[in-house]
Structure 1
């Protein structure tokens, strides 16, 4: 699994302000309350926004990400927020060194950055092995509808005065995959603009395929919802949520 984030780490938080992180944290707390200093691993933790919130909620938190740039920002955030989170730079499909976990999260479509189905399967297997009996896995992914329809409506643009981007998409080689090409202009300290480009690749699968992969890893108690609600997915749902218990 390659590192999909480079300079993007510097602008990530500004572009994610519409994500209801608090709702995500409450979803996890509802089903796996932070009691007795439970061990939680936040996979694809990015800049540490949710890791910090989980730590504040009472979990004993570790964060894992493949991007060193993201983890540097996450560490700074934890220092500023005065919380302790142990961070590891590692690919999720090679998860190693964790055991007796009570909770694992793979939030905000992080799993969609794993390019090969075999690597997704390995991720689920490693997570299952790292969880205690009765432990919880929470993750979300882009739906087929979002990948095949919404993402194909590019170009997308953004301009808040400090960050401007032009975002183009095209179908990837695999089914239900997308190549994202993003051109950024970011205001620097002296008032000039710095230009950089990012290319990301994401892939998703049908709900039934995810269910099969999870069951093959050993999970049998699986609940599927959509779009930050308790409702079952519909044909036009954009984000699919899975809650699995070992």
Structure 2
């Protein structure tokens, strides 16, 4: 999967993403857990939308992503907004060099792009090593039910003057596995350039993540659905599941 061409379109395509809800949710979790958080790593930061908003909230932020093109867009954003954010190009499965962080977040279903069980465990272990004792790890995932009911075997499309796309979502061999086959048409003012992206995601039931977090040195602090910190957690009817864990090492 290459984000080279997609990086320049990503923010436009994600224009209606509820970034402020991620920030509000994060702050509420910090408050409810009584955590004194100053340094945060945004893991899988993409073009830096969430990282920049966290920096505006006064946190010391490190943005980590495996795509140099995404990070280039993120860095430009930070410069334009006069934000001092450290950007690191790194695969989360090889995360290293970060120590004693107060918290790490990984939003927009980044963890669902880690499609192998052992690799999910590796990511969790490396996050734990990057956090201080008691440090928090907040991430979100697609629920299995939502993937099966609203994504797989569906076709999505959007047509705008300067960019259009067709998106086929097909199931994989495993429950909760899906492939996103996207075709983009981007106007340069005279003609349309066509390019394709294939994305692979895998999600699991909450018990799977709880097991791997425990094995990686975390204790579970909370389960939430769809940005709510007050509603009772209902995995069956959730769309986006938030998992809150604390480094127990």
Name the TM-score class by shorter chain.
over 0.9
For 1:245, the equivalent position in structure 2 comes to: 246
Structure 2 unmatched runs, 5+: none
* 1:197 CA drift (Å): 0.7
Deviation of 1:36 after TM superposition, in Å, equals 7.6
CA separation in 1, counterparts of 2:122 and 2:87?
A: 21
What is the CA-CA distance between 1:31 and the residue it aligns to?
2.6
The Cα of 1:183 is off from its aligned counterpart by: 0.6
Q: Distance in 1 between matches of 2:157 and 2:25?
A: 31
State which drifts further: 171-180 or 88-97. Answer: 171-180
Correspondence for 1:77: 77
Asked if 1:166 corresponds to 2:159, the answer is no
SS of 1:235's partner is helix
Match of 1:11, SS state, is helix
Matches of 2:245 and 2:4 in 1, distance apart? 31
Contact 1:61 1:85 in 2 (8 A): yes
Note if contact 1:142-1:238 (Cα within 8 Å) is conserved in structure 2: yes
Give the aligned partner of residue 32 of structure 1. 30
Q: Which runs of 5+ in 1 are unaligned?
A: none
Question: Displacement of 1:27 after TM fit?
Answer: 1.5
Counterpart-to-counterpart distance in 1, 2:22 and 2:36: 21
1:91 is matched with: 91
User: Counterpart in 1 of 2:209?
Assistant: 210
Q: What is the deviation of 1:146?
A: 2.2
Deviations 1:207-232 (A, max 9, x none): 11011111111112321111111231
Query: What root-mean-square deviation, in Å, do the aligned CA atoms of Structure 1 and Structure 2 show?
Result: 1.8
In structure 2, how many angstroms separate the alpha carbons of the residues matched to 1:235 and 1:37? 32
Task: Establish whether residue 185 from structure 1 lines up as the match of residue 189 from structure 2.
Answer: no
Q: List structure 1 runs of 4+ shifted beyond 4 angstroms.
A: 33-37
- Inter-partner Cα distance in structure 2 for 1:63 and 1:191: 36
Could you report, residue by residue, the CA deviation over 1:123-152 in whole angstroms, capped at 9, with x for unpaired residues?
Answer: 111111211122111100011012222112
1:201 aligns with 2:215: no
* TM-score (normalised: structure 1): 0.93
1:90-129 equivalence runs, <5 A: 90-129=90-129
Contact 2:144 2:175 in 1 (8 A): no
